[in-house]
Chain A
Amino acid sequence: MASRSISPGGALLRASRVFSIPPPLPAPVGDMSSTGSFNSDTATLPYPTHLSITTPQSSLLKGDWGLKRPLPLRSTTKSSTPVMRIKKIDTFEHITEFGSASDHTMSLKKWHEMGIPLTTPRKYVESVIDDIQSHRSVFEDEIDYTSSGGANDAAKADTRWKFGGPWLAGQTNGEFNEYMQKEVRRRKDEFQEFLREECGKELKKEARVQQRAALADGESPEPAPETRGDTRSSTTRLVVTDEQLKVYIKSLRQDWTELYAKIRTFLDLPPAPSSENDSATVEHLHQMFNQTQSHSKDKNVSMSPYKQSGPPKTHPSAGLAYSRTASTMYNHPVFGPQATKPPVEARVIKPKGTGPTAMLGVGGFVVDTPKNSYEFSSRGDPRQKGKKPRIPTINVDLSKSGGVKAYVQPQSASIDPKGRVALRIDVADTEAVAVKEGRTAEISLPAPRQSSSVSPSGASRMLVRDDARGSSSGYGLDLGKSDSQFCLMKPPWERGQELHVVIPQQVVVTLCNQFLQF
């Protein structure tokens, strides 16, 4: 078809912003249940579906967003983040439908500030080695590509993140049946052709093996009778008779793993979830009964990092971050290079009183509380009986503006196949928090001599201050200036105000070392 000539007006339209806005992504599906679920149509979606557009300040004041008609000034100029999403460029009522896109725009900005790299999803059953494997960056060369890389590179075709077919393990029965009826059934003839080709390849391989064997025996090489044409060039298509194809199909029916591999190649299906433990057990059984098959390991066990969770819908980074690693050192302007990155303040977005567990919000993303610490548990540290948890997560704390907040250390994140962000966080380092809050004077308190009296498991110590001066505050601690005098080991009620600082022994020791060095 010859290309149509475009009128100048048409060319202008095509180059315009209106046509550069992509169609929206499908909205995320909610929970499927027979009784209906709790949701809100105006809630912030777990991932953005519309393009966010902005406009320069001068155009913003005129309402010019590069659209068909100017947007109303009253609703667009008041916001501190004038970023809009266009739901519909023109409607029947001659109105441009738009809404604020500041939610996802700000979340992205916050994510960039936190600088969290995106990794492949974590596996459920983890050994130490698996743990390292699962923390690979999504931008690693072995896993970050979409092309199948040719038929000869099976491993490459296996570990890519984008496939043509659906992930069967994540489908419901209904979806699977629909896929079978609508997609698979009509490709029956195509599959026969595909099998015929595969059969030809197989026969050629056999012929080559026979030739080699004949050469080894010293006989003159003769071409295999079944195959016609030039056997040397691989591009030549072999003619396979119906009888040969029948035999081949019969053999495939015996060998299910081979048949599955063929079907996977044909339909371009993502790898199926399989647990290494199972295959290891099978291997072990083979060895136990001394079978000869033990060396023929199942080739269909995929090395793809997405086989357990399913392939992601978009690029596995989802465009959130482009760094491969978080192994960068934070250089503090005063204290120099730091062991940990600056911690991030998280809010207790869901207290425990509303459900089974408390949940935190870190930079606009909801995460679970870190499981390796008692910091957020409602019962507190069992080693320190009677002491209430430092961060109250049971109920809303009405005395604090914006609710309870606590510092956490974001580690890494991955995107699950539904497009939701699974962020992994850790409890923030005490020293890092002190540096962040600018109260390093308090943390470097213990003198070298007194450090010997710290109990080995890390104890809560009371630092009592003479003068009462409310200056900086965090966690309900009220902390003083540099001129304040601290002394240890005195009951708090004999002094003015008290401070609770949990100082682990390592911190004390490192601090002492620093003191000695300076």
Chain B
Amino acid sequence: MSPPRLQCLNTAKRMSRKAPSLRAGFSTSQVVRADNGSNRSSTSDLLDSLGAPAPSRPVRSEGNNAPMRYQNIQLPTRQVDRTPSTSFGKRNLPTGKAGATQNALNLISKFGRRDREASAPSNETTEVVPSQPDTARVDTEAELKNNKLAGSVTKMITRRWKVGDVYAPHDMSPVEMEKWRRRSRPSVDAFDVLDMNPLDHYRNFSIMSEYMTEMGRIKHSKDTGLRPVNQRRIARAIRRSIGMGLMPSVHRHPEILQKMVERERYGATGRAGPSTVVGPV
């Protein structure tokens, strides 16, 4: 029984290998077609093989090298990974007009190119010599590569969606995702909202550290978002704290540094790491 995810990944791999030429095939622009003219024949071959209604063996062998590699293997996974490819070819390629599809293809081609550049020699050897014992290794390699590709595309979703958000197509565009990548300055004065006086909390190095840089400098009000009165108060509180020796002046407080290290090591889930246990020395 084959896991469905692997099917998809294999298809993605095949797509990524052929992506630049595929993109040219979709494009209505004559310039792009002319640029990639040499690739077009292979693209149409691949399209034919993908979209063939009955993927019989002769058609497969006419197609490209990727499916050929799996010819001799009688494993269920090998058989199955044709299924999504036909559906993909049927469904996706004619409707390539959508902007989202075009974006996705652009991404695929971008990562595919990068991957090919990175592992060009090894790829060549595996494709030229499709020997029987190598296939398993190749397959795992391909899976890993596809996983990596899918993971890196996933990382491009920078927006942290929340329940109740409303989205339209443009919310998924690269322009929007680029905007969600950056952190904006706070729009409200935190101390006003909480009705706190910063000067009362000069001993709370956790609060003070939020308004300092890594190197111990007091942050500007354009970064803190405080109103002038509160900005002067927090600056005074920080100076007071440093002057009393409660906080280092050139770095963050050691306990906060330790928290940061823990978070890095054990993830942001707030699980207690072993370093929180302070044993007797």
Interface set of A (CB-CB < 8 Å, partner B) = 30, 32-47, 102-104, 106-107, 172-177, 349-351, 353-356, 359, 361, 364-368, 387-390, 392, 394-402, 416, 418, 420-423, 460, 462, 467-470, 473, 475-478, 492-493, 497-498, 500
Contact = CB atoms under 8 A, between A and B. Distances in A.
Contacts of B1: 387, 460, 462, 492, 500
13 contacts: A33-B186, A45-B166, A173-B193, A173-B196, A365-B166, A395-B150, A398-B16, A401-B92, A420-B162, A420-B165, A423-B164, A492-B1, A497-B79
A225 to B, nearest CB: 49
Nearest to A499: B83
A173 B223 CA distance: 23
Chain A interface, >50% SS class: loop
A296 B19 CA distance: 75
Given A45-B166, A351-B157, A174 B100 contact: no
Given A351-B154, A492-B76, 17 more contacts: A32-B193, A38-B158, A42-B175, A44-B170, A46-B166, A173-B195, A174-B192, A387-B1, A387-B3, A388-B4, A398-B104, A398-B153, A400-B92, A401-B104, A462-B1, A476-B7, A493-B75
Nearest to A358: B161
Q: Is the interface of B mostly helix, strand, loop or mixed?
A: helix
A46 B164 CA distance: 7
A175 B194 CA distance: 8
A364 B4 contact: no
B85 to A, nearest CB: 8
A359 B54 CA distance: 36
Interface in B1-48: 1, 3-9, 11-12, 15-16
B188 A32 contact: yes
Contacts of A33: 186, 190
Contact of A172 (B6, B88, B163, B194): B194
A320 to B, nearest CB: 11
B154 A421 contact: no
Nearest to B9: A399
Contact of B90 (A30, A39, A402, A473): A473
Contact of B176 (A40, A177, A350): A40
B84 A476 contact: yes
Contacts of B225: 34, 36
Nearest to A496: B79
A351 to B, nearest CB: 5
Interface centre among B83, B90, B98 (most CB of A within 10 A): B83
A423 to B, nearest CB: 8
Contacts of A493: 74-76, 79
A356 B160 CA distance: 10
Contact of A478 (B9, B79, B86, B101): B86
B147 interface: yes
Interface stretch (B116-124, B177-185, B245-253, B254-262): B177-185
Nearest to B111: A398
> Quick one: which of A368, A418, A478 has the most chain B CB within 10 A?
A478
B235 to A, nearest CB: 15
B195 A174 contact: yes
Size category of the binding interface on chain B: 35 or more
Contacts of A104: 166
Nearest to A498: B80
B155 interface: yes
Given A36-B185, A40-B180, A44-B171, A402 B165 contact: no
A182 to B, nearest CB: 14
Contacts of B176: 40, 42-43
Please provide the 6 A-B residue pairs with the shortest distance between their CB atoms, ordered closest to farther: A420-B164, A103-B168, A473-B87, A388-B3, A173-B195, A40-B179
B166 A390 contact: no
Given A353-B151, A473-B87, A398 B180 contact: no
B125 interface: no
A82 to B, nearest CB: 15
Contacts of A365: 164-167
A116 B230 CA distance: 47
B174 interface: no
A34 B212 CA distance: 12
Contact of B83 (A350, A367, A423, A497): A497
B151 A395 contact: yes
B238 interface: no
B150 to A, nearest CB: 4
B149 interface: yes
Contacts of A32: 186, 188, 190, 193
Most buried by B among A40, A392, A395, A497: A395
A353 B76 contact: no
Interface in B47-67: 53-55
B86 to A, nearest CB: 4
A370 B118 CA distance: 40
Given A353-B155, A392-B4, A470 B87 contact: yes
B131 interface: no
B193 A175 contact: yes
Contacts of A102: 168
Contacts of A176: 195
B127 to A, nearest CB: 21
Contact of B53 (A368, A422, A469): A469
A400 B153 CA distance: 13
Nearest to A103: B168
A34 B224 contact: yes
B275 interface: no
B91 interface: yes
Given A172-B194, A421-B166, A398 B3 contact: no
B276 interface: no
Contacts of A351: 154, 157
B141 interface: no
